[in-house]
Chain A
Amino acid sequence: MIAYADFKIESLAYFSKKMPNHVRWVLQQIKSRIERLNALFRPVMHYNCSAHHEGTNMTEEASNISSDTAAYPWSKNEMFLFRAALAFAMRDYTNGEEFGVSDIHPCDETKRVSFWFVVTRPNTTDLVDKGTVEMAIKKSRNRINGAFLLTDQTLEFDGIYPTLAAPVSPDTPPWLIVFGVVMGAVSVGIIALLAYPLVQRKLKKNKDADDEDSDEETGVKTAEIGANDGIYNSTFSDDERFTQM
């Protein structure tokens, strides 16, 4: 008991930006004086959990936890699934040590679907240290999430931060596409608007040249271009009526 009194519970700062409907497990720190307490480890569930929980004896409720939560249905079966998933994670990490469901010991379960647990080596009562368990969970995080159909945001291991997904970077940035389309249209428009009157003028010149030729051929009197519009005012012109080309 004394040894466990030395334990500091991991900080209870387990919220900030997580969503509700989350399940929380907390790992327990293992100290060096394990060997002295080996004998006390059998009733793990009652022993170490009630020592550092604030007064209330949660053990009975812990073993009888039933799910009333509307958000996430929790039951003994789910707990079994958790233990199995964690045993898998330990096996995967330690490459073969045959962890079983019985090696995962949860305790201090609350209605909030959050609890502590410790892991012992297979067929012994040696506790596995926190660092190893953390690494194992980090490695198989996806599988554990998947087992419960939860995500990194809805399933939290206190003290283990999820590795953030790399941002998606597409091959062609979308803004380049839009920019290209818009600027292409604008450039084409500018060139078209600048070139159009030049082209038009050239066509008109050819047409006028043709008209002039046809007029001269037919020899119309004063039907030169534009003589019909308006009254010619000779006051301001110095030389002949129509300027030479």
Chain B
Amino acid sequence: MVFRECSCSFNAHASKKQQMSLPESRTEKGDQNEQTPFFKKKKKKNSDPAKSFSEKKRDSCSLESGQILILLTGRHRGKRVVFIKQMRQSGLLLITGPYSLNGVPLRRVHQKTTITTTTSLPLSTEDFQVPPFVDDSYFCTKKKPKATLESVLEDVGDKEKDEVSEERKSLQRKVDEAVLDSIKRIPYMGDYLSQKFSLSKGQMPHKMNF
């Protein structure tokens, strides 16, 4: 399905044809108006040879650490959460409830499935740093080993429950500590984050300021 109006315009850049002239006939810049064609330099896009492709792809989002987002999809839809940082590799946003307020753990979320509010917590980077091992691979689901006939016949009944590891819990507490600290300093912020967002009668999203 091709949607015309909502997608970006692909014909934005008219291709500039490079007019090459013979070295002999090239004159000084001042003599442009004469016979030799104007030598146009090809416009280079942001080519930074130092950056690899995977690094270049992800533009940093304009969100500030501590900004409140509203989740629109998933099991936590409607909940107001705190933005922490953007993941380097995938571009997803790292958010936390905090867990004790609304049950949202440290989680990755796509920016397109959130509403950014102008409300934000003052989370300065001096007293609040997420440990560096918290990156995309930390959140990726671990692949289960393929079930062979023997393994299926062996484990009869006792299925492993997906329990949250103690490491995750301690990381959650650590991150939430600093976040909860700044929440307590703002009146009603705790109540605000523990309540869900929903539209009511007469509320039009296109007219709302978030």
A and B, one complex?
no
Interface residues of B (CB under 8 A from A): none
